[in-house]
Structure formats: structure tokens, C-alpha cells
Amino acid sequence: MPSRSDITYFGAGPALLPTDVLEEAAGALLNYNATGLGVAEHSHRSALAAGIINQAKADLASCLDIPDDYEILFMQGGGTGQFSTSVYNFAGAWVARKYKEIFGDVQGDPTDHPELLNQLKQAVDDELKIDYLVTGGWSQKASVEGERLLGSKHINIAADARKTNGGKFGIIPDESTWKLSENAALVYFCDNETVDGVEFPTFPKSLEPGPDGKGPIVVADMSSNILTRKIPVRNFSAIFFGAQKNLGMTGITVVVIKKSFLPPTISQPSPTLMRYLGLPVPPIIFQYETAAKNNSLYNTLSIFDVYVAGQVLKKLLRIYPNKVEGQQAVTDKKARLIYDAIEAFPEIYKIIPNKAVRSRMNICFRVTKGDDIDAAEKAFLEEATAQGLTGLKGHRSLGGIRASNYNSVPLEGAEKLATFIRGFATS
């Protein structure tokens, strides 16, 4: 029976957590701060819980240099839940802006002004669009959910990698080919595709704000590469990510959103108006303004999960004085070690995505040693497991091998995997 120290886990998620954080959390689960109760047993309404939330928010803001005009929310439902939540909230924000444009200073019940109301409905029918950049399985699922909620007429697939890559993912289409809407309620992209091993190398030029600070409303899913590199937060209207890759445990989802999309700057339209316009009304727990007004405590939040995330953030800040940039240097070094080992044997291994967009986080490749790929990959996995290198099997939809290079995988673990890759190729 292997011990924890014998294993280097490369699974795509839930991911490895630092052992010292887990040891600290185990004690807190039994007796937090000598209160006689574990952290999971304290009321989420208590000052203790609020303190854990506020400290985690402050440390995340410090790690990522999040500006003061952004809010941090802890929600539930994972990244998949945000496929719906972002549609609900940003479609509502689009309607609120269009309402103000059409109604101006007109006060009172909008039904008292049928001409203006009909003008608004026509604008929604003709102009409301959500743009998706489809570069892998997760962005594809996000676009399907958007269509399910709003209908196909409101969904614009601005780019689809499969159309220029033989029906498969593995590239990011050139920005010159993107067909972005003029005034989209949001432009969604998945910054790192966990299944397909594709990562945006940098923030897309065509989505950058202009000199006046204005630009597209950009929402990104960073579930699998958050806290692994410095990001231009101001280029985004919202960023969301599940905690279970680089931040903590399954159970909480973080949203970093520009405050201009929250009250008092803007509020969601009334349910009555949304129903009249033929648009869905979000569940109250999926309203960003509800979460913001209640410091993420409208419903019972798992304070233990926030606590664990907070401990991970404290460790990152403690180890790297330059915060996420320090982690980025280590992440990039680990990725280079693994990719260099694979590339050294082109007759044995084949990296799946195009080199220009290879993910640093999810390294996807096939083992082509011999005539039987399935047998070769089975042998690779069995021998890797025997050496304590686990979680390397590729996603069921893609097959092959996938090494997930999350923050808690130590440099020594990446070195061990690289050595194994080289040794397997020459055995």
C-alpha cells in the first residue's frame, strides 16, 4: 500500500492538494482556533466565517493584483454552473443598458409605455447576442448551454476550432477569422481547455479594450489555469473558476467581476420584464448581485472549502514574494521539462494539440510505440503507476495520456515524469 509521499498525482481534477495544507485543514476540521468546534461546524453567518471569507478574498486579490473596482464572489455549481450564470446575468445587464438607452429618464411601470416597451422587445429580438470562441470540449458545452437558455438566434459561434482542423479540437483559429458581434452581451472563452490540452498563449488582441478603456464584455473560464500566470484582470468583465484545480477543494466556484455590472451601477431587470421579453429569469442564488450584496452568504456556503482555499493562497504568498509571477516561473519550467521529454522521441510520442497553443496545465499526448497504440498506452500507464506516477489516463472523449501540471505538482514530480517518459521510450 503506497503512502502519500510515494505518489505524484497528475489527475485533471479534483487535483492534488499540498500535504501541509491538508494537515492544517485536518486539525481545523476538528477544532478551529481552539473554539471546540471544527471550521465546518461553525455557522456561515458567524463573524468567524465572515473573517475566513474576507481574508481569502484579500489574499486572492493580492495574488492576482485584482483592482479595487472588481468584486470577488464565492458561489456553487462549478464552472458548469457558470455557463448558465454568466448567460443569465450578462444578458440581463445587456437588457438593462438597452432599457436605459430606449426609456431614458422615463419613470414608472414600463407597461405604461407600450411603444417604448415594444421597441425594447424588438431590440432584444434583433440585437441580443452572446459570442462564443469554441476551442475545446468545455467551451463547446458552454455554447450549448447558452443556446439552451436563450435559443439559437441569440448565440453566435464567433470561432470554432473544429472547422479548420479536420473536425477536431487542437488549435485556436486565427483572430482574423473570428466573427465577433458588434455589441455582444458577452464574449466567452475558456482560457485553458482541460480535456483537449489547448491554452490561449496570451489575451486575444481583438478583445483588448481601446485607449478609452472600452471594449468587448469578456468572460473567461479559468478553472484549470488560474493562479498559474499573471493575467490582465482589467481586460475582463468577469473571470470564473472552480477551486478544485489550483485553489482548493471541489465545492466552491470563484467569480471575479467588475463592479460596474453590479448595483448600484446596474441592476438585473425585473422578472416581469424578462418574461415579457421572452428571456429566462435566473434562480436567485445565481444572481451575481445577490451574491455580492450578501458577501457570498445568501445561502449556506461551505466555509471549510473557503478555508482550504485561503490556506493555499497563504502558502503561495508565503513562498513567492512576487506572488503569481513566482508560481508562473515554476509552472512554465515544469511544463518545459515534460514537453522536452516527449519531443525528444517523435517516433514514440505524438503531442495532440498544435504547438502554438499547447497547454502548460494539461499535457495531452499519444504513445505510438509499436504497432498497437492501445497496448502501448496501457503499458505506459501501468509502468507509470508502478513508479508512483498516477492520474495520467487521458479524458474518455480523447484517449491517450494527459499529465495535469497543476500548482501542487512539485518540480520534483515533473522531473520524475520526464525521466520516466524518456526511459519508457528507450526501453
Q: For residue range 288-306, list pLDDT tens digits in order.
A: 999 999 999 999 999 999 9
Domain end (from 245, 274, 306): 306
Same domain, yes or no: 224 and 347? no
35 within a domain of the structure (yes/no): no
- Asked if pLDDT for residue 379 goes beyond 90, the answer is yes
**Structure confidence at residue 47 (pLDDT):** 96
Model pTM score = 0.97
User: Does the residue 264 lie in any domain?
Assistant: yes
pLDDT for the residue 149:
98
Answer whether residue 313 shows pLDDT above 90. yes
Instruction: Tell me the mean pLDDT in the region 186-197.
Output: 98
Whether 371 shows a pLDDT value over 90: the answer reads no
Residue 200 in domain: yes
In terms of Cα–Cα distance, which of 312, 333, 341 is closest to 408? 312
Cα 304 from Cα 320, distance rounded (Å): 24
157 and 86 in a single domain? The answer is yes
Same-domain check for residues 273 and 366: no
Determine, yes or no, domain membership for 121.
Answer: yes
Residues in the chain: 427
CB atoms within 10 A of CB 371: 7
Confidence of residue 215 (pLDDT cuts 50, 70, 90): very high
Say whether both 327 and 207 belong to one domain: no
Among the candidates 240, 271, 306, a domain finishes at 306
Choose one of 306, 332, 363: the last residue of a domain: 306
pLDDT at 202 over 80: yes
Based on the fold, state whether residues 372 and 301 are members of the same structural domain. Answer: no
User: What's the structural domain count of the chain?
Assistant: 2
> Do residues 193 and 237 both lie within one domain?
yes
Q: Are residues 339 and 384 in the same domain?
A: yes
SS3 159: strand
Residue 194's pLDDT is what? 97
Domain limits for position 347:
323-426
Task: Tell me if 89 sits within 8 A of 96, measured CB to CB.
Answer: no
**What confidence score (pLDDT) does residue 2 get?**
82
Encode 302-330: b = buried (16+ Cβ within 10 Å), e = exposed: bbbbbbbbbbbbbbbbeebeebbeebbeb
- If one counts every other C-beta atom within 10 angstroms of the C-beta of residue 27, the result is 11
The alpha-carbon radius of gyration of the chain (Å, integer) is: 23
Handedness of CA 115, 116, 121, 126 (dihedral sign): positive
Is 238 in the same domain as 185? yes
**Mean pLDDT, residues 104-120:** 94
Partners of 157 in beta bridges: 132
- What is the structure's pLDDT at 370? 83
Domain assignment of residue 398, yes or no: yes
Residue 160's pLDDT is 98
Mean predicted confidence (pLDDT) in 52-72: 98
pLDDT at 369 over 90: no
Same domain? 333 vs 302: no
Respond yes or no on whether the N-terminal peptide bond of residue 283 is cis (omega within 30° of 0).
Answer: no
Q: Are the CB atoms for 242 and 223 separated by under 8 Å?
A: yes
Q: What pLDDT score does 250 carry?
A: 94
Separation of alpha carbons 330 and 317, rounded Å: 14
Asked if 199 and 123 sit in the same domain, the reply is yes
Report pLDDT for 120. 98
Q: Which grid cell is 184? A: 455582444
- Residue 191 domain flag: yes
Residue 24 lies in a domain: no
pLDDT digits (tens, 9 = 90+) for 9-49: 999 999 999 999 999 999 999 999 999 999 999 999 999 99
We report the CATH number of the domain holding residue 98 as 3.40.640.10
- Same domain, yes or no, for 335 and 208? no
pLDDT(1) > 80? no
Residue 322: is its pLDDT beyond 80? yes
Confidence class of residue 99 from pLDDT cuts 50, 70 and 90?
Answer: very high
Q: What is the mean pLDDT of the chain?
A: 97
Same domain? For 294 and 355 the reply is no
63 belongs to a structural domain: yes
- Indicate which CATH number applies to the domain containing 377: 3.90.1150.10
